[in-house]
Structure 1
Amino acid sequence: MKALVLSGGAGTRLRPITHTSAKQLVPVANKPVLFYGLEAIADAGITDVGIVVGDTAEEIREAVGDGSRFGVKITYIPQEAPRGLAHAVLISRDFLGDEDFVMYLGDNFIVGGITGLVDGFREARPDAQILLTQVPDPTSFGVAELDGNGRVVALEEKPAVPKSDLALVGVYLFTPAVHEAVRAIEPSWRGELEITHAIQWLIDQKHDVHSTTISGYWKDTGNVTDMLEVNRAVLETVEPCEDGTVDEASEIIGRVRIEAGARVVRSRIVGPAIIGADTVISDAYVGPYTSVSERCRIEDSEIEYSIVLRDASIAGVRRVEASLIGRGVEVTPAPRNPAAHRLVLGDHSKVQISS
């Protein structure tokens, strides 16, 4: 059995972060989201992995390498443009051959991994198996309609009027039957080959399509709100350690991981939290559910429920919360006079300013 990991999307909902970084490499608890998926695939006993890459291919290659660090072998599959999940299957035909495979969206996060799902598929071996979960707003997802016996009867991509609240989670399992399906469908109104259409084709052709509804934790980390929520969930499991240095004037409360080379000076840190390698926290407060990456500096500031990427600095800022701070960012107080706001913002940024 093989795995196909999709890492070619543009990540428009995470701009401006994704203007300079692949969305699959934005860290959660100081580890890229993509890495959690690769670890889950390896834990399920799958070692042959294809990664579909787009404009951020070089960054993905540099981060993942040949896959040996995860215990897998990586094959990179270029996709000229994000033309849909079914298109990714279509262009991966040579890599997949005639083997069963799991398709995993590289920006999805599932607590507990996929081992049980893969084992169940190997035993029952339907033509396709999809993962479903209840969501409050199904209009943003592929949605499944089940009959009274729990069998999948219809799928619809981002419906205006959903027929259920069951959204497709970004993990799919297929036999080679799906290759005929992705060749048979036409592009949707979005100009993409939708995987929901391919699975619907299998249903219409009387193929065996199973579904599993999960109640555990799943998130599509496509926006800042979900990134912060996933970061919170992962930090709940953090094991405390102090590989860096903490002076006597500092206070560490709860589960806090301080990585090698980090220094905490005259500061208070309340976990769960992670302080990355070679980061300096001085005269500051770092609150719960905060991940600070490597080589950062937080000085005379307060931050909570946030993600800070590497080489960023926050100095003299009274309070930062629910924020995603990009690589190499500098956050400082605005000058008191003149009474104006001076902004340098990336495309599609959202800013809230108190008058």
Structure 2
Amino acid sequence: MKALVLAGGSGTRLRPITHTSAKQLVPVANKPVLFYGLESIAAAGITEVGMVVGDTQAEIEAAVGDGAAFGLQVTYLRQEAPLGLAHAVLIARDYLGDDDFVMYLGDNFIVGGITDIVRGFDSAARIMLTQVSDPRQFGVAELDADGRVVGLEEKPVVPKSDLALVGVYLFTSAIHEAVAELKPSWRGELEITDAIQWLIDRGRHVEASRITGYWKDTGNVDDMLEVNRLVLESLEPSHDVDAEIIGRVVIDPSAVVERSRIVGPVIIGPGARITDSYIGPFTSVGADCVVDRSEIEYSILLPRASIHGVGRIEASLIGHDVEVTPAPNTPRAHRLVLGDHSKVQISS
């Protein structure tokens, strides 16, 4: 079995972070989301990975390399435009050959890995389902009274169920015939749900399983922070600093923490400097970050971000090389320098 990992896409819901960084490389507990997926694939005994990449190919390649660090052999497959999940299968046809494969969306996070999902696969396709509060944002499955898949629809206006497809799929080579027959949907994309429906309509066996572990599509800031919280809860404490440490806290040996209070779960990366500050629960501080005379909680700081003299920050995702400082007391006005698609909340 091979793996097809989708690491293209523009990440519009994570802008402005993704104007300059691939969404799959935004870190959770100081490790890119994509790396968790690659580790799950390797743990399932799969070694050959086709990585579908787009405009952020150079950044993805620099981070993943040839895959040896994960025990994998990675081949990069260029997708010139994000034309749908089924289009990714289409361009990977020669690489996949007639092998079974798992398709893994690189910005998805699944606790517990995919070993159990892969084990015993013997049908034309296997999909994973989970209940969601707003199925209009996902591919949705309709099951009959016996639990068999009878219909699939991508981002329906009126969903027929609350069962969303998780971003992990298993396929045999039968999917290639289905993909070859597709026409673009109303979204202008080749939908993988249409390809699976094609198999169902022709009597091919498509399995559906409810996912038992935790799953998140880390496509927006709220989901990133929630996944970060979940991973931090499993930390094994590791630190040797002269500061007040409470709970599960991991501090890299090269980090400096002085006259500060750290309440875990928290992870502080290499080269970071924390002085006269409070770092609260569910916070990840990336490499070479600086937090001075400030308070921050339930947040993610990407490498080289700095926060100086700020009263309190919560529920925030702060990008690479960002500087956060207090505004002048007078005149009472806000001075902003914002990039395209930024989102700012200002208290009155």
Q: How does 1:9-88 map to 2 (within 5 A)?
A: 9-88=9-88
Deviation at residue 335 of structure 1 after TM alignment: 0.5
1:75-124 CA distance string (max 9 Å, x none) = 00000000000000000001000000000000000000000010131xxx
2:311 is aligned with what amino acid? R
The 2-side partners of 1:120 and 1:297 are apart by 49
Contact 1:15 1:346 in 2 (8 A): no
Q: Is the aligned partner of 1:217 residue 2:210?
A: no
Deviating runs (4+, > 2 A) in structure 1? none
Deviation at residue 337 of structure 1 after TM alignment: 1.0
Map of 1:343 onto structure 2: 336
Q: Is the aligned partner of 1:196 residue 2:189?
A: no
Contact 1:143 1:166 in 2 (8 A): yes
Map of 1:323 onto structure 2: 316
The 2-side partners of 1:113 and 1:354 are apart by 41
Identity, in percent, stands at: 73
The 1-side partners of 2:177 and 2:166 are apart by 23
TM-score (normalised: structure 1): 0.97
Map of 2:299 onto structure 1: 306
SS at 1:55 equivalent:
coil
The 1-side partners of 2:294 and 2:216 are apart by 30
Query: Which of 166, 169, 173 is matched with 1:172 structurally?
Result: 169
SS at 1:87 equivalent:
helix
Map of 1:117 onto structure 2: 117
2:99 is aligned with what amino acid? E
2:40 is aligned with what amino acid? A
The 2-side partners of 1:112 and 1:347 are apart by 37
2:334 is aligned with what amino acid? H
The 2-side partners of 1:30 and 1:144 are apart by 34
1:111-159 CA distance string (max 9 Å, x none) = 00000010131xxx10000000000000000000000110100000001
The 2-side partners of 1:119 and 1:232 are apart by 29
The 2-side partners of 1:135 and 1:79 are apart by 30
The 2-side partners of 1:120 and 1:7 are apart by 27
Deviation at residue 348 of structure 1 after TM alignment: 1.2
TM-score (normalised: structure 2): 0.99
Structure 1 unaligned regions, length at least 5: none
SS at 1:318 equivalent:
coil
Query: Which of 234, 241, 247 is matched with 1:246 structurally?
Result: 241
Deviation at residue 265 of structure 1 after TM alignment: 0.3
